[in-house]
Amino acid sequence: MISIVGLAPHPPIIIPEIGRGEIKKVSKTVEAMKVLSRRIGDTSPDLLIIITPHGQIMREGPAVLDMDELVGDFGQFGFSGIRIKMQTDRELIKLIREEGMPDGPKPVLVSDKDYLLRSGKVLDHGAMVPLYYLQQEGVNLPGLHVTIGFQPLEELYRFGSNLAKVLEKRGRRTAVVASGDLSHRLIPGAPAGYNERGAEFDRTLVELLKHGRVEEILNLDQDLIEQAGECGLRPFAIALGMLEGEKINSDIISYEGPFGVGYLVASINTTA
């Protein structure tokens, strides 16, 4: 059972030790991440699925880390002392192997043996930023780390739907967090340069999410997506697929883009 789906951004600047004086510029996002983390905790989940666009990306399909303990730090951003850990639910890995997800993209199980991740630091910042806030609120759960594939949105949605079926067999309450930033091109000087369609993309996606118009999200204009320079749409598509067949209630907790990147925090629950 999916207890809640959270949509979260992942700028390291919202980590207090990293953001320092600049964190006040993203105060809405910081407070919203605390709200989202508390909401997730309030649903009393047993497992957590974290979906990121910045992990190990495979051509064949979405990647699932197949290691008992996942570890990472923010050394890439000059703060190696901030470490995040997550345990993998071995029963879920076993079920994925057994089920195989016969239709749609196949999950690619990635282990340290396959990729010789000698440092042992396998968590990416797309996963670590949301995990930081969850763990600060006492939500420290085993589960799965999933990285997007570059398949069409409809196929990633199908992958999410199939993953939800595996979770049904696992029989545990599960929270899902899809990590992704919206347009990286909102203002002159933005990380990916400025494009006037960036703000259009963000407005459109936020409005569609607010009203649960999933089919329209999956069929967004490709030119608009490309010009926006986003990294959140694929993780969101997987997460929405995990709610296929359910009536959903979306709450946009916050949205802002002070540095030229759109930061959206939202929660999605199912309704009777």
pTM of the model: 0.96
Please count the structural domains in the chain. Answer: 1
pLDDT in tens, 191-233: 999 999 999 999 999 999 999 999 999 999 999 999 999 999 9
- Give strand pairing partners of 121: 71
CATH number assigned to the domain comprising residue 95: 3.40.830.10
How is 46-108 classified by DSSP, letter by letter?
Answer: SEEEEEESSS---SSS-EEE--SEEEEEEGGGTEEEEEEEEEB-HHHHHHHHHH---SSPPPE
Number of Cβ atoms within 10 Å of the Cβ of 43: 16
Residues ≥6 apart with Cβ < 8 Å to 116:
none
Mean pLDDT value across residues 122-137: 96
Produce one character per residue of 159-193: b if its CB has 16 or more CB atoms within 10 Å, e if not: bbbbbbebbeebebbbbbbbbbbbbbbbeeebebe
Domain that holds residue 76: 2-271
User: Is a pLDDT exceeding 50 seen at residue 187?
Assistant: yes
User: Is a pLDDT exceeding 90 seen at residue 116?
Assistant: no
Sign of CA dihedral 176, 101, 104, 86: positive
- Give percent of the chain above pLDDT 90: 89
Number of Cβ atoms within 10 Å of the Cβ of 157: 26
233/57: higher pLDDT: 233
In angstroms, the Cα distances linking 147 to 25, 38, 54, 238, 256 are: 29, 24, 7, 10, 25
